Every structure is written in C-alpha cells, then in structure tokens.
Amino acid sequence: MVCRTAEDVDVSPEYFPSGVVFTNGHMWKQQRRFALSTLKYFGVGKKSLEPAILDEFTYCAKDTADHKGKPFNPHLIINNAVSNIICSLVFGHRFEYADERFRKLIRKFDTALQIEGSIWAQLYNSFPLLMRCLPGPHQTVQHIWNDVKDLIRAELKEHKDNWDPAEPRDYIDCYLTEIQTSKGDAQTTFDEVNLVICALDLFVAGSETTSTTLRWAFLYMAKYPEIQAMADRTNLPYTDAVIHEVQRMGNIVPLSLPSHVTSRDIQLGGYTVPKGVTIIPNLTSGLFDKSEWETPFTFNPGHFLNEENKFVKRAAFLPFSAGKRVCLGENLARMELFLFFTSFMQRFTFSMPAGVKPSLDYRFGITLAPAHYEICAILRQE
C-alpha cells in the first residue's frame, strides 16, 4: 500500500483510483463498508438524525418565507439545505446560507454536473491524453472539483489540529482514526487521498439527488394543486406515495452510474458478457415500463397505493439503482425527502407566477434536473 497524503490528491489519479463511488474490488468493499457503518453511527437511518434535518428546515423555511410569496428560484436554497445535512455528517458543522464561498461552490457544483453529462465528458473519456491539452468546458470541471477538494482539505487540516480519537465528531474524525489504526496493514486502503475523494463522493451523492428531487416535487405540486392539498402528515400513505411518484417521474439518474462491473463471465439473455465489462443499468426502462405501471407517463400517486389506500412499494421502483452497488446514501435520501417535503407542504402552498404554466422541461447532465424556474411559496394559515 502506497502511503498518500492529502497533498497527493491530484497526482496521477489513473494510477491511484480512489473513493467509494467509482472504485471496485477490495478498495470499494473497504470504503463502502466504512462509509455505511460511520454514517449509521452518526444517525443515518435512525430517528436520532431527524431533529438535525428539521432544524435545517427552519433555516430553509425562513429564506423561503422572506420572499413573501413573490416568484423566486428555489435552486440555491434547496441545495444549501440538503448540502448542509451531509456537511454536518462529514465535516461536523453546517454552513450559513450567506457564506459566499459556500454559495459559489454550490453554483459551481451544478455547472460541473451539467458538463459531465455533456459531449465534452464523452470526448474526454474517449481521448483523455488529447483532451487534457485542449481548452474547453472539460477543463472547467477540473477546476471546479479542485475547488471542492480544496474546501475538503481545509476541513481536514482543521480536524487534524483538533482531533481526539476517543470522541469522534464526524466522518473525517472516524476516517483519521481508521488511517491511524490500519498503519502497517498491507491491505489497507485508508489514507488521506482516499479521505478527500470519499468525502467528495459523499458530498456529491448526499447533495445533488435529494435537492433535485425536491425541486421536481415543487413543480409537480404547482402543476397538480389538488395533490398538493392532500400531501400532509394527516395522510402519511398518500404523502409517501406522492414522494415516490415524484422520484419515478423525475427519473433523475436515468442510467444510474457506470460503476457496475462484471466480476466473471456471465450468460444473460443468450449473450456472453465477459469479465471486467462496465454495466450501465437502464433505470428508466423500469420506472416507465408499461407492463408495470397503469399510467407510466402520467403523474399518479395511485401507483403506490392499494385498494385500501395503503402504501405499496413496487418492484419496478429502482431510483437508487439495484444490487450491491445500490446508492449508499439511500437511507439518508429517504429521510431527507420525507422530512423536507412534509415540512414544506405543512408550511407553504406552491404555485407558479401569474400567467406562467409549470414546465417539466429538464436539463441533461449527470442527473436530469428541472430547467431553472421560479415559483411562489405562500405561507399557509397557522
């Protein structure tokens, strides 16, 4: 095992594959197992995390209410709120919405994900040596991720200066302890480079998908006000069904991520798939399968309700992918979606600005995000 420090994070990544999202084999198993156990230790999937999410909503709700029912773009407010949850888990603290550095980072974050879903990313993947020498948006992406890594490195430095292994405050503290305890182990994959990349992976996975889903939810609620009126805590099965239908119709990660690789030669549908081939699951085919959904192209929460109006999860519902590579942040995302969505529905009524019809157009990138829009959030009567 090569011992690497945080300063090596940008050096020869092709020789040192790092992180938890795009690695495989022993590296992936160690990093995923650690991430899951650490996030669980700090409350992911447990009721103990709910107060932190609801507390973050109070900041988000104040910023939303400050618009006094006038049209505004909810993108930055939602991204700030959702990002702060994963920041609290990874860094041990949240960022103020007025923190300009953090706001700029969130904006750049959105730009990077768009570029990575464009032809520029495909060209870079096909001709990496050539594209490194050419100008273009792909160079912008490198600068953006370096900015994010600089933020993480700064957090890492602060943690190392105030680190007490006996009292871990967050993911970074736990990771530093793991680096220390695994020294001398030839099989360890824990070092500062992996810490930075894993934190980046968690930051991306813990921010983008949930915030994008919530922005789709606002649009669908504005488009279907009769559904919005019913989506409250007094009818939890229906609310749960609405959230799931937003995820189904939003289809924000249509092809999952190219992180599945065959571990051996397999036979599938009469074809031989060799070992080492990257598999891209077509999640869209399941979410809109005519044989699985009564009205696949219509927003219909009834897809997730049985005859007694009780919530039923469908086998074809796979927004978090499937198998061993299922999104490790699924439990966190479910908690956030439910708590943020129900809190917003209880506090506000959403509608489009006068004379504007809801548009379900999307912007293609790593995720399918709604095109930028403005919405009105009216405080409900207490």
Tens digit of pLDDT for each residue in 131-146? 888 888 878 888 888 8
Residue 37: strand, helix, or coil: helix
Query: Is residue 89's pLDDT more than 90?
Result: yes
The DSSP code for 250 is H
Asked whether residue 259 is domain-assigned, the answer is: yes
Tens digit of pLDDT for each residue in 294-314? 999 999 999 999 999 999 989
Q: Residue range 36-49: average pLDDT?
A: 92
Cβ neighbours, 10 Å, residue 128 = 11
* pLDDT score for 232: 55
Confidence of residue 2 (pLDDT cuts 50, 70, 90): very low
Q: Residue range 56-69: average pLDDT?
A: 96
- In the chain, the number of structural domains is 1
Residue 197: strand, helix, or coil: helix
Confidence of residue 159 (pLDDT cuts 50, 70, 90): very high
* pLDDT score for 9: 46
Asked whether residue 349 is domain-assigned, the answer is: yes
Asked whether residue 261 is domain-assigned, the answer is: yes
Q: Residue range 24-40: average pLDDT?
A: 93
Expressed as residue numbers, the domain containing 221 is 6-379
Query: Is residue 15's pLDDT more than 50?
Result: no
Percent of the chain having pLDDT more than 90?
60
Determine the Cα–Cα distance for residues 47 and 153; give it in Å rounded to an integer. Answer: 31
Q: Residue range 117-127: average pLDDT?
A: 75
Query: Is residue 235's pLDDT more than 80?
Result: no
DSSP output for 165-194: TTS--SHHHHHHHHHHHTTT-TT---SHHH
* pLDDT score for 67: 96
Token pair of 241, please? Answer: 């069904």
The CATH code of the domain that includes 53 is: 1.10.630.10
Asked whether residue 1 is domain-assigned, the answer is: no
Query: Is residue 110's pLDDT more than 90?
Result: no
Token pair of 151, please? Answer: 């933020």
Percent of the chain having pLDDT more than 70?
94
Nearest of 288, 283, 279 to residue 320 by alpha carbon = 283
Asked whether residue 273 is domain-assigned, the answer is: yes
Confidence of residue 207 (pLDDT cuts 50, 70, 90): confident
Determine the Cα–Cα distance for residues 336 and 3; give it in Å rounded to an integer. Answer: 36
